[in-house]
Structure 1
Amino acid sequence: MDPECSQLLPALCSVLADPRQPVTDDTCLEKLLDWFKTITEAGSSLLLLQENPCLLGLLCHVLKPQDLSPRVLAFSLRLAGMLAAQEDCFQYLQQGELLPRLFGEAGPLGGAAWTAPSVRSGWIQGLRSLAHHPSALCFLADCGAVDTIFSLQGDSSLFVASAAGQLLVHVLGLSLQGPAEGHPGLQTGDWPVCAQKIVSHIEESLRSAATPQITQALNVLTTTFGHCHNPWTQVLWVRLSPLVARLLEKDPVPAAHSLVDLLLSVARSPVLSSSSCGLWETLAQTLSHLSPTQAGPLALGILKLQECPQALRAQAFAVLLQPLTCVLEATAQAPGLLDSWDGTGGASVTVDTLLASKAACVGLLCRTLAHLELLQPLPQRPSPWPQAPLLGATVTILRLCSGSATPTSDAGGHLCAFLVGCVRVQRAALDFLGMLSRGTGPRELVTQVFAVLLEYLTSPDSSPTVLKKAFQATLRWLQSSPETPGCSDLDPHAQLFLRELLPVLPKRLCSPCWEVRDSGLEFLTQMIGRWGGQAGFRRALLASEVPELTEQLLRDPESYVRASAVAAMGQLSSQGLRVTPASPEHPGGQQKSLLAELLHILSTDSEGFPRRAVMHVFTQWLRDGHADVAADTERFVARVLQVASQDLDWEVRAQGLELALVFLEQTLGRPSSHCPYAVTPPVAAPPGPLAQALRPLCRVQLFEFAFRALFDCDRPVAQKSCDLLLFLRAQTASYSGPQGSGSVPEVASVEAALQRWQAGDQGQPLGYLEPEVVVAVLRSMDLEGLRGALAESSDRVEKSPQSLLQDMLATVGALGEDEADCY
């Protein structure tokens, strides 16, 4: 510890020990603990105590009967545990019976401060730090701390209860690191006292009739088997698995969620999954005993396992498919379509759940669809994958929700009554339907998919969120649609669907709900980007009102919609799909300049989203050689950079640097690498041509824009500028222009201006710069050093320990004004 800190520490300990002093906030105490942790990890805790007896005095003082702040007491408990983590310091503290008085029954446990959750949490965290050596285990057993931890598992504070369970796992693992490590056959009766006590408590809890106690025991075991993969875990599971299996005999199964977590944790353990401990049989029994809602997560977890008996996988998949089987049978659509996977015999239970209530029906279907959606892309998904039945079931569910299905049974009628208009199920079904687009299906089913999607997109009853999901699913199915052989166009079925959809899109773009307008524009933008060059799509789009309506939405009152309209118009213009009909305002069909309109948005829009969208469009236009840009590229770049440099949104300024980099690459004819600031080998180039190539960059004042951005208050902007200038410097490494004395004053003037900019005075512009001056300035700057400084996290700029101590003392007036370092 620094001498300056050692001098300040006694005063701080006095302040903390004084109940009359206003206690500093928790953040400062956390930083203080972090500092002590750094010291103890780097050196001796015992030496720290011996050189700073005020710390020991603070720990002793907090035990005196007084009205001490709970946060100071919690801080002291954590500090004591941190110091006692080293065994020699633990023995030193034990000599004065300090640890039993802090963590035993004679300590805070019996005081009024124990009612504060922060004190109970500090007590647990202190023991968690302390328990790192054999002496600590004996201490825990002797002082009664383990029993207190048991009681804290049911604490009213969830944070305290969770921490208590984690501490039990830690103590159990520490107890068995030595004795049982290499002896998996060791009887649990021969285990250390702490381990025996914890295991006995778990057994007692599993036998309990109280669900909370069962839950606590299962949670401890779940964490244990999830984190400990030592041989002794096999002995523990062999001993406890009969008690776990006995839970299945109760109706209903208690703590089912925690039981599922435990069994999956055991199944993922490399020690237990490869042993013959009856695990797979227990999993099979659990699947058949849990309700359909409870069994779904277990079935999904089993199917995600890399190694699992095939019979168990089939049973798990059948559990997932059973609700959809019931839906198909209830609507008389190919009864038994999923029977090849149904080996559970639980159909009646599933039907009962689906028909029990609307909440039960909706919950089960949403979980089922979500689980199958997670399973579908996995390589270990069941094979063969029942693509066609799943498509049929999902389409049926969507029709039940829209009211277009015609149930032919009482069960189907109940399902229809429960599901009609249910947004939750509609969203889940549309998500899963989009995922199913990765596979193929019979033509008639694919036709049904497009029909139900069109139904949702045209229905006035579809909510904004459902419409968004329908747009997303539609795009995925169109993207998966097979192309016509020998042609890059969509297949006839998809083209027919588009012809039916495009007349609907204008209605969505005119919706009074801004979320609907926004979703429609996003869908349109993605469609143009994917099929804008295909003849069938172009004809259908140009025959619709969509381009004109999209342009009108550039002036929408909602900023999100304006941003989406900008993106869509950028795509329409790039593909030559922007058409404005003849009118008195536009005789002969003459269009207003979209470039001018987007520049107006960039200059005047009050929201950042549309301005960012404009910058993205402009950058893409420049990259693609858009006609409006190519007509006068320098003027375009100069105008955009001038506006972007004054924007208050850092993302707009950063995108301006991206546009500048594209222009720089095109001007020099040398594309940057994936890492723009990587130093590339110098390319030999005659001085004259390179100087000529740099002049357009000077004329558009790209360097002034980049130099200002280099000292931007927003780090991402400064980093991007640094990358750009490093790339440019690498490209000009071989340049050796005329070295006349006349250029020296100009270089010095620019360097002086940059120093003023770095200091915060950016009022005076640089003006036009000659290429020789730019190259000289770039070579004189320490861009690598600046890049390194920008790459460092802002977390490194933190208070020194001395400053932290001074500020904590200054807040209570324990320092003179000239000694404080508050900020």
Structure 2
Amino acid sequence: MATALARRAPDVASPADYRNPSPIMDPECARLLPALCAVLADPRQPVADDTCLEKLLDWFKAVTGAGSSLVLLQEHPCLVELLFHVLKPQDLSSRILSFALRLAGIFAAQENCFQFLQQGELLPGLFGEPGPLGAAAWAAPSVRSGWIQGLHSLAQHPSALRFLADSGAVDTIFSLQGDPSLFVASAAGQLLVRVLDLALRGPAEGHVCPQAWDWPACARKVVCHLEDCLRSEAAPRVTQALHVLTTTFGHCHGLWTQGLWARLSPLVARLLEKDPVPAPHALVDLLLSVARSSVLSSDPGLWETAAQALSSLSPTQAGPLAAGILKLQDCPQALRIQAFRILLQPLAHVLEAAAQGPGAPRLLEGAAGDLMAVDTFPPSRSACVGLLCSALAHLELLQPLPQRPSPWPQAPLLAAAVTILRFCNGSAAPSSEAGSRLCTMLVGCVRVQRAALDFLGVLSQGLGPQELVTQVFAILLEYLVSPDSSPTVLKKAFQATLRWLLSSATPPGCCDLEPYAQLVLGELLAVLQKRLCSPCWEVRDSGLEFLTQMTRRWGGQGSFRQALLGSEVPELTRQLLQDPESYVRASAVAAVGQLSSWGLLAAPSRPEHPDVPQKTPLEELLLVLTTDSEGFPRRAVMRVFTEWLRDGYADVAKDPEQSVAPVLQAASRDLDWEVRVQGLELALVFLEQLLGPLGPSTAAPPGALTQALQALCRVQLFEFAFRSLFDCDRPVAQKSCDLLLFLKAKATPSGSQQEVGDGPNVASVEAALRRWQAGEQGQPLGELAPEAVLAVLRSMDLEALRDTLAESSDHVERSPQSLLQDMLATVGVLGDNEADCY
């Protein structure tokens, strides 16, 4: 029957179809395809894994996207035979059945191919009651998922819509919305959206919103189902409908969405009248999806429903809706005010609970009834923590936005953040019962501490009264000093402190700190000194990161230098180069690099051996590079050396060649590919300093070029660079290729080949490169003359190599031919020599 159906293809094909054969189905794939279809149809054959089947489907999508599906089936009837074979009662695996359903949907996405498959009753057999729906295979989630995905691909044209309506598929989709498999249920909801869009997109193409009575029968059926779900007393059914509508309004932007929202919005609003409100999170997602729709955002009824939701939902449920409303560009001012009050209420309650007198700062003005009543604040610890963290996170994201509410209550928010942190560390002294209860719930809560410290750091972008700024630094110091602060809280406290120190520069952008911040600096260094000796490696690591950032910013500022040099921090940092934890050693390397750059890490003699000088920072870091067993510290060393060379660090600048040579030699032997990449980056910086950056005038003067090449030969750069071209780690080869291309551009501009002579015989160098390419890495190049280097560079097609390296490493193995060969080789249909494992 399948062969007869294939022969009838001309009945539904146009002449143009035959002039557009698929360009992707090459002859070798066409030769292998019948054998593969036979293997897939044979339940006795062990089929390749799901990954191979997914790749096969991707290939068919590409084939049908580039040409006619109908011509593809006409030219390869084995595909039709495979689909018919799946309909036979047999013990096919659920994977193959799912694959066939999805494959049929891919073919039927083109309308003429859909009609062709309909003639043989193939599609009703696959997607109707006679097929998997009535078989035991339907119990497998993969089959149900394949059925949905096949219909999702198929639903592209009016013929598909009629098929869905007549075959009863829509009712099956309704039932699959409640499937026990979340993947199947989610896919069913997305398929309903596709059906609704397909049903209503055509009638709305005349730029007129179709009335409900003009909707196609399939659309009316889906909408009636959604209405029934919204009226249901079962929360899962309400949630299903809300999810479908959220996706619909988020992805479909036709005029028909206006009519759909007008019909369903009263039912959505009615949900807000229930107690409790069903599916509140899904309801919030729907309202925000509608509000973001350019077609629907002008509907005044939408804003009324949003205002009703803000009033009806609990503060925790309403928070995401309030935050989403405030991020919208166009929104009624009254609704923005209401939404902002929702976010501020938890923090306002904190301030009220801690208020010591009538002059205490307030976030929300007005009668006490306008505020969240003390007794209605979440009574459980988990609910209270969740509400505060949610409010802090929403306000943190809102603060930098240009559409944030104005005026922004900077001072009260600062006071609220500080107060929350005091409740959490137990330093607050509330005078009310509500304050005591709140203190009990928040004390020691790491989650709230982290959220409050993040928010406090963001608030450093605004101004505040000096009294509050003083309180900010005071609470930050309390957390940095406290032995009860967890490592993650300490890290957040260090980050917030740095942001406040940066904001205290006078004027903004200046290196000097204001007087109060300079006083804080002394206390900070005392804290830092203690934290660098912590038994907890995360604390030591956070302290080193903080020191590095402070030094990078204020290393040249007098008061900072004086305070730092008067502490033990530099020496402790040096000692941490030997820390047992590799992350700490890496952070210590970065800190030593910054301290040394600013001359803040002298090399005094050892007290016990005054005649033996201590190693210089350069020597210490080179020791780390050559002896450390972990990659993190060695990578950090390479970054520091590159920064030193680029910025002209004194100990490196006085003899760059002598400084760079041992570093490059160590990096070239390193087993960590990132260290090798960093080594080539260092070499590139060295090369730029010798010859200048690559630019419009790339030619280097002959004398400078000769001297540079001699220097590069002395530091053995070319041994490193040429070997790296054949490195098994592609980023290393790419970086080496970039470096040699840079040098080639500098050394071989137009007409410059004679400037360095005709070049010697480079056969020995090229022979060594061929051996390296073949994997024989033993023999070194030995000493190279500049002329030999230039000759080799001119003979190499580095541009082509760069293009090859830029390609994906599996671009050959991912070919359709390779895929088919490997799937057939798995079951022994091909010989070993025909397989191309990938």
TM-score (norm 2): 0.94
2:713 paired with 1:713: no
Equivalent of residue 752 in structure 1, options 767, 770, 793: 767
Contact 2:813 2:836 in 1 (8 A): no
Q: What is the match of residue 17 of structure 2?
A: none
Check conservation: 2:385, 2:448, Cα contact below 8 A. yes
Distance 1:467 1:817, change over 3 A: closer
Pick from 223, 239, 246: which aligns with 1:199? Answer: 223
- 8 A contact 2:642–2:685 mirrored in 1: yes
Structure 1 distance, partners of 2:367, 2:27, is 75
Partner Cα separation in structure 1 for residue 700 and residue 446 of structure 2: 65
Give unmatched runs, 5+ long, in structure 2.
Answer: 1-24
- Cα drift, residue 797 of structure 1: 2.8
Q: Alignment partner for residue 129 of structure 1, among 153, 156, 161? A: 153
Q: Distance in 2 between matches of 1:717 and 1:641?
A: 14
1:716-764, Cα deviation, whole Å (9 max, x unpaired): 11111111112222222343446656x431x232222222222222222
**Are 1:306 and 2:325 matched, yes or no?**
no
Q: Deviations over 1:663-696 (max 9, x none)?
A: 111122x1246xxxxxx334373x3343123211
**Alpha-carbon distance between aligned partners in 2 of 1:369 and 1:67, rounded to the nearest angstrom:** 57
Cα offset for 1:801? Answer: 2.5
Deviation at 1:570, TM superposition (A): 1.1
Could you tell me which amino acid in structure 2 is paired with residue 744 of structure 1?
P
From the superposition, tell whether residues 109 and 61 of structure 1 become closer, same or farther in structure 2 (CA, over 3 Å).
Answer: same
Give a deviation string over 1:522-552, Cα, whole Å, max 9, x none: 0001111111111101111111111111111
1:423 aligns with 2:446: yes
In structure 2, the CA distance between the partners of 1:506 and 1:89, relative to structure 1 (3 Å rule), is same
- For the Cα contact (< 8 Å) 1:434–1:472, is it kept in 2? yes
1:578 aligns with 2:578: no
Assess, with a 3 A threshold, how the Cα gap between structure 1 residues 585 and 53 changes in structure 2: closer, same or farther.
same
Deviation of residue 104 (structure 1)?
0.8
- What is the DSSP-based 3-state SS (H/G/I as helix, E as strand, rest coil) of the residue aligned with 1:587? strand
1:812 is aligned to 2:836: no
Letter in 2 for 1:767: G
Secondary structure of the equivalent of 1:416?
Answer: helix
Given the alignment of the two structures, is residue 776 of structure 1 paired with residue 791 of structure 2, yes or no?
Answer: yes
How much does 1:802 deviate? 2.8
Question: How far is 1:365 from its partner?
Answer: 0.3
| Deviations 1:27-73, CA, capped at 9 Å, x for gaps | 11111112222221122212222222222121111112222100000
Name the amino acid aligned to 1:692: Q
Partner of 1:731: 746
Shift in Å, 1:623: 1.8
The residue aligned with 2:586 is: 563
Deviation at 1:628, TM superposition (A): 2.4
Structure 1: how far apart are the matches of 2:209 and 2:367? 37
Deviations 1:763-805 (A, max 9, x none): 2222222222222222221111111112222352334323322
- Deviation of 1:584 after TM superposition, in Å, equals 3.6
Q: Whole-Å Cα distance in 2 between the matches of residues 430 and 421 of structure 1?
A: 14
Cα 1:35–1:442 shift into 2, 3 Å: same
Residue matched to 1:653: 676
- After TM superposition, the structure 1 = structure 2 runs for residues 455-474 of structure 1, keeping only pairs within 5 Å, are 455-474=478-497
Looking at structure 1, the residues matched to 52 and 518 of structure 2 have their Cα atoms a distance apart, in angstroms, of 65
Q: Distance in 2 between matches of 1:643 and 1:535?
A: 37
Contact 2:322 2:340 in 1 (8 A): yes
Moved over 6 A (4+): 341-344, 484-487
TM-score relative to the length of structure 1: 0.95
1:47 aligns to 2:71 (yes or no): yes
Mark the CA change 1:785 to 1:345 in structure 2 (over 3 Å): closer, same or farther: farther
Instruction: Select between 618-627 and 478-487 the one with higher mean Cα deviation.
Output: 478-487
Q: C-alpha displacement at 1:352, in angstroms?
A: 4.2
Partner residue of 1:523 out of 543, 546, 551: 546
- 2:741 aligned counterpart, secondary structure: helix
Residue 703 of structure 1 is aligned with which of 687, 703, 718?
718
Match of residue 780 from structure 2 = 765
Which deviates more, 352-361 or 491-500? 352-361
Separation (CA, whole Å) in 1 of partners of 2:810 and 2:370: 56
- The AA in structure 2 aligned to 1:474 is T
**Residue of 378, 394, 409 corresponding to 2:417:** 394
1:543 paired to 2:528? no
Alignment correspondent of 2:697: 681
For 1:810 and 1:571, how far apart are their aligned partners in 2? 58
Residue of structure 2 equivalent to 1:268: 292
The counterpart of 1:691, out of the listed 706, 727, 743, is 706
2:260 aligns with: 236
Distance 2:769 2:836 in 1: 31
Aligned to 2:406: 383
- The superposition leaves residues 566-595 of structure 1 with CA deviations (integer Å, 9 ceiling, x where unpaired) of 111111111111146664434179432222
* Residue equivalent to 1:102: 126
Give distance in 2, aligned partners of 1:513 and 1:398. Answer: 23
Matched residues, number: 811
Provide Cα deviations, 1:184-204, integer angstroms capped at 9, x if missing partner.
442212111111111111001
For 1:153-552, what aligned pairs fall within 5 Å after superposition?
Answer: 153-182=177-206, 184-276=208-300, 278-332=301-355, 337-338=361-362, 340=364, 347-348=371-372, 351-352=374-375, 354-483=377-506, 488-552=511-575
Distance change (3 Å), C-alpha of 1:484 and 1:121: closer
Aligned to 2:647: 624
SS at match of 1:379: coil
| Cα 1:726/1:821, change in 2 over 3 Å | closer
Task: Say whether the 8 Å CA contact 1:211–1:254 is kept in structure 2.
Answer: yes
Match among 632, 635, 638 for residue 661 of structure 2:
638
Q: More displaced, 728-737 or 312-321? A: 728-737
**CA 1:594–1:689 in structure 2 vs 1: closer, same or farther (change >3 Å)?**
closer
Judging changes above 3 Å, is the alpha-carbon distance between structure 1 residues 672 and 456 closer, same or farther for their aligned structure 2 residues?
farther
| Distance of 2:706 and 2:578 partners within structure 1 | 44
- CA distance in 1 between counterparts of 2:197 and 2:729 reads 47
Q: Partner letter of residue 56 of structure 1?
A: V
The match for 1:609 is 632
CA-CA distance at 1:557 after TM superposition: 0.4
Q: Which whole-Å CA distance do the structure 2 matches of 1:65 and 1:638 have between them?
A: 74
**CA, structure 1 residues 93+342, in 2 after alignment: closer, same or farther (shift >3 Å)?**
farther
Moved more, 767-776 or 155-164: 767-776
* Preserved contact between residue 361 and residue 415 of structure 2 (Cα < 8 Å): no
Q: Cα gap change, 1:707/1:293 in structure 2, threshold over 3 Å: closer, same or farther?
A: same
Contact 2:813 2:819 in 1 (8 A): no
Among 95, 106, 110, the alignment partner of 1:71 is 95
Give the corresponding residue for 2:9: none
Report the more deviating stretch, 104-113 or 68-77.
Answer: 104-113
Amino acid at match of 1:260: V
Corresponding letter in the other structure for 1:58: L
Separation in structure 2 between the aligned mates of residue 739 and residue 666 of structure 1, nearest angstrom: 21
Contact 2:532 2:539 in 1 (8 A): yes
Decide whether the 8 Å contact of 2:505 with 2:512 is kept in 1.
Answer: no
Residue 113 of structure 2 corresponds to 89
1:108 shift after superposition: 0.4
Please give the per-residue CA displacement for 1:588-631, whole angstroms capped at 9, x wherever unaligned: 79432222221111111110000001111111122222232234
| Contact persistence 1:318–1:343 (CA under 8 A) | no
* Alpha carbons of structure 1 residues 484 and 84: separation in structure 2 relative to 1, 3 Å: closer
- 772-781 vs 62-71, which deviates more? 772-781
